[in-house]
Structure 1
Amino acid sequence: MIDPEEEKALLVSCSKGDRQAYALLYTRYVSPLCRYLFLFTRSKEDSEEIVQDVFVKIWEKKENLVTVQSFRPYVFKTAKNQLLDLIRRRETETKMLDYLRPVTEESSEYSDAYAIYNQYHQIAHEAKNLLPQKRKRIFEMKTEEGLSLDEIAESLSISKTVVKKQLYAATDFVREYLRKHAEMTTELVIFFYFFCSAK
């Protein structure tokens, strides 16, 4: 059993850049997190990779640790979000590759299709960077971090309605930018829109 007061002191120290406190937190939670994640991933490598990513994120935002009341739910929620992000990313990659994949992956058509996909992805990134800062952040939280509309609204302290309006406006802009600058086919526009606006 971890003493709450002791853990709170570790969080405060860690928030100030104390690497020893950070190492203690890591040592205490790495095994429980790996066991928890393995229930879903069934992969030791994936579980360990997610845990590493979790603690990298925690260290990058260590200043926020002073506001954390209990580290266990905080670190497990972070791990869950990383797990969901991994699942969504792999599902998206698989579906996109399936969409682009011709009869044989060894064919030159496959290489051409993948190159075209990369081009579209780069242009979409350019479009995203042209969005107003608030709209861009909402778009990233939805499409890259996989957060729900409710989670975005809570994180930014705005209403769900505002999140929806900003997300739809961002998606429409990026879609039109792709249509104009990449001569995107109707099928790929629909495909892109599906993944950007999926709940």
Structure 2
Amino acid sequence: MQESDQQVFLAIQSGQTPAFEMLFKTYYQPLCRYATSYLKDPDGAEEIVQAAFIGFWEKRKTISIETSLKSYLYRAIRNACLNELKHEQVKQKYFASESLKEEAQSSPADHLAIHVELEDKIRAAIQTLPEQCRLIFTMSRFEELKYQEIADQLNLSVKTVENQMGKALKIMRAQLKEYLPLLAILMSNLLNP
């Protein structure tokens, strides 16, 4: 340590506030700029520098400086900034994991609500179908019968069943067009849990 640094440091160690104030005035602004280069947050940088000076004053009797006061202060600020950055990373990871947990917990309720609303709308749309059309649609979609099986049971031609299904699907699409985004969300969430 240079002799001038040694004298300032000995004065600070003995509790002389003018020496400490001189050190503070000399290095406060440059240290704030240095801390800002790490944190990209001027207010946070000032807090770090202020805390470092307070800590320096409080521990002045036990501090051992080998190089220079300037080197010591810059190293202290760098270490404090790195610790702050690590702390921020930990906080961000924590908040990210918490938001994922909340999303996972709220998603089943959201999916259920969407599912129930969609089922209600589908039921209502089915009720608007003409009788034969509705019967063929429910046999195909809910009883999972093939067109030939439906035709056999209802004594109709397969072509009639196909035409009635086409008509049913056209009506259903028109009835449910505003709910297609909900259906897309529900299907994507079911496929990607």
Give the TM-score normalised by the residue count of structure 1.
0.47
Give the TM-score normalised by the residue count of structure 2.
0.49
Give the structure with higher Rg (CA).
2
